[in-house]
Amino acid sequence: MSKPLVIAVDGPSGAGKSSVCRAVATELGLEYLDTGSMYRAVTWFVQSKGIDPLNAAEIAQQVNAAEVLPSTDPAEPGIKVGDVDVSEPIRGEAVTQAVSAVSAVPQVRTLMVALQREIVARSHSGIVVEGRDICAVVLPDAPIKIFITADPKARAARRAKEVGANMSDTNLSMEKRDHADSTRAMSPLEIAKDATVIDTTHMELREVINQVLDLARASYG
């Protein structure tokens, strides 16, 4: 194999990306990068500094000071900001409510995309990268591009079960996140023209994992 295998995966929240990507990375002996956690880590940093998540100008001035250090081990996909482990805090409601606004700041996206590409470039074993703009923006030359999606109700049900939240509230929150991600000016959520779309609405997790593995093996033998 001349180059390490790179699998780029996009899709909306609750579609099952993380579970699939971690399993695929584990079974193929690859690294794993959750780019969504990186934007959440920046959001945590912004809030820890007392910066209003809607103050794009101040975020742009301060974001370079955020030392975001994601793990690429699929068995332990944590993340730090400097020497602070923020793996749990970034999943809290405060960060969840603010991450779309922070992620939309151009300077934040520029910094994170550069870091994501750097992490991929130094991977020797190969890597599975998941997010919302990986195929079209971050890694447009990735040999395998996949867009994992599902019916909005199915996604909301999965996320509500995952976080132990009310179904109605989760559905509303996801609708707002979908709208924000799809309409932001820079790197909106979109399906890359050459991406394979997998609709997981009526699929079991194992079926989705196997489909991605088949795509990887078909491309790399």
Give the pLDDT of the chain (221 residues) as one tens digit per residue. Answer: 468 899 999 998 888 899 999 999 999 999 999 999 999 999 999 999 999 999 999 999 999 999 999 999 999 999 999 999 999 999 999 999 999 999 999 999 999 999 999 999 999 999 999 999 999 999 999 999 999 998 888 887 777 676 666 666 666 666 676 666 666 666 666 889 999 999 999 999 999 999 999 999 988 75
Any idea where the domains of the chain sit in the sequence?
6-220
For residue 221 the two structure tokens come to 């033998």
**How many of the other CB atoms lie within 10 Å of CB of 144?**
21
Q: In angstroms, how far is the first alpha carbon of the chain from the final one?
A: 9
Q: Interhelix angle for 106-121 vs 35-48, to 10°?
A: 130
pLDDT at 14: 81
Cα–Cα distance, 130 to 68 (Å, whole number): 17
Write down the CATH number for the domain with range 6-220.
3.40.50.300
Phi-psi group of 164: left, alpha or beta (phi > 0 → left; psi -120 to 50 → alpha; rest → beta): left
